[in-house]
Amino acid sequence: MSAEAAHIFVVDDDHRLAELLCRYLNNAGYLAMAAYDAAEARSKLKSLVFDLVVLDIMMPGENGLVLAEELAQSSDSPPVLLITALDAPEERVKGLSTGAEDYIGKPFDPRELLLRIERILRRRAIRDTVAADDLHTAPDKLALGPFVLDVTTGLLHHGNERILLTPQEQRLLRYLASRLGDEVSRDDLADALGEGTTLRAVDVQVARLRKKFEADPRNPSWLQTVRGIGYRLAARPLP
């Protein structure tokens, strides 16, 4: 995705910082808009389309983590880059566990923010292209016991209940669905999840997924471990 085409949404209660960031991003060729709290951000997200959200965590009222987690539950929401004055390791873990793509601590060099934005947009564009190609070979729907995965949208249901999946979890399941029944290496899964994804991160995503649809996550029936290689999705295609 080119900078000229990308719309960036800056959400920060610090009006001066938000306006400075928008000006900097606009000068860099992006189209940037600001909101100053989670309620205003949510309202704009309902009516406008953005390619990326730069979101402050420490805001009065509803903090940014709540909004980031909410955005992560929708397959068509933009990726999130979190910014905060709290840059301790535990805060990074907490922020990234919401499903955000990246995290940067204040104070930061605007040039670093720009590089992180470019990396996220480039990674997302590659991911979307690969996903579109892979989905041509995947069934439309899969049964994982009583759960049904819509491969096209990445949504998982148990009867009428929707099971919330992060974008990373959706990508992992959809990639496995494109190679249904095959042994898929952890390296391939890491590549599918995006630049910088470690093998440990793949294992963590698999463990979280199993808790959402396996009756016994320690002895999985559907998302199986292939020792020494990686994983296999043993789901049943639905008509």
- Residue 151 shares a structural domain with residue 205: yes
List the single range of 9-18, 96-105, 218-227 with lowest mean pLDDT. 96-105
Question: How many residues in the chain?
Answer: 239
- Residue 83 shares a structural domain with residue 176: no
Going by pLDDT thresholds of 50, 70 and 90, the confidence category of residue 5 is: low
Which pair of structure tokens corresponds to residue 7?
């719309």
- Residue 57 shares a structural domain with residue 156: no
- Residue 15 shares a structural domain with residue 126: yes
- Residue 50: name the closest of 77, 26, 68, 29 by CA: 77
**Cβ proximity of 33 and 10 under 8 Å:** yes
Q: Which residues contact residue 213 at a Cβ distance below 8 angstroms, ignoring those fewer than 6 apart?
A: 144, 145, 147, 156, 158, 163, 222, 223
For 82-87, which contacts have Cβ atoms below 8 Å and span 24 or more sequence positions? Answer: 82/55, 82/56, 82/57, 83/12, 83/54, 83/55, 83/56, 83/57, 83/108, 83/113, 84/56, 84/57, 84/58, 85/58, 86/57, 86/58
Q: Tally the domains of the chain.
A: 2
CATH at residue 177:
1.10.10.10
Query: 130, 152, 187 — which closes off a domain?
Result: 130
Expressed in angstroms, the distance from the first to the final Cα of the chain is 35
- Tens digits of residue pLDDT in 184-221: 999 989 888 876 678 888 999 999 999 999 999 999 99
- Residue 10 shares a structural domain with residue 112: yes
Going by pLDDT thresholds of 50, 70 and 90, the confidence category of residue 62 is: confident
Going by pLDDT thresholds of 50, 70 and 90, the confidence category of residue 36 is: very high
- Residue 83 shares a structural domain with residue 165: no
- Residue 141 shares a structural domain with residue 194: yes
CA–CA separation, 114 and 129 (whole Å): 23
Going by pLDDT thresholds of 50, 70 and 90, the confidence category of residue 128 is: low
**Cβ proximity of 140 and 151 under 8 Å:** yes
Q: Which residues contact residue 208 at a Cβ distance below 8 angstroms, ignoring those fewer than 6 apart?
A: 169
- Residue 163 shares a structural domain with residue 108: no
- Residue 12 shares a structural domain with residue 106: yes
Domain of residue 208, residue span:
137-238
Q: pLDDT at residue 42 above 70?
A: yes
Which pair of structure tokens corresponds to residue 111?
């040039």
- Residue 122: name the closest of 27, 194, 32, 24 by CA: 194
Query: 70, 96, 130 — which closes off a domain?
Result: 130
What pLDDT does 44 receive?
Answer: 93
**Cβ proximity of 100 and 72 under 8 Å:** yes
Residue predicted with more confidence, 131 or 231 = 231
Query: 93, 113, 130 — which closes off a domain?
Result: 130
- Residue 91 shares a structural domain with residue 108: yes
CA–CA separation, 169 and 231 (whole Å): 14
Residue predicted with more confidence, 1 or 105 = 105
For the chain, the average pLDDT equals: 85
- Residue 148 shares a structural domain with residue 227: yes
**Cβ proximity of 156 and 214 under 8 Å:** no
List the single range of 181-185, 188-192, 226-230 with lowest mean pLDDT. 188-192
- Residue 91 shares a structural domain with residue 155: no
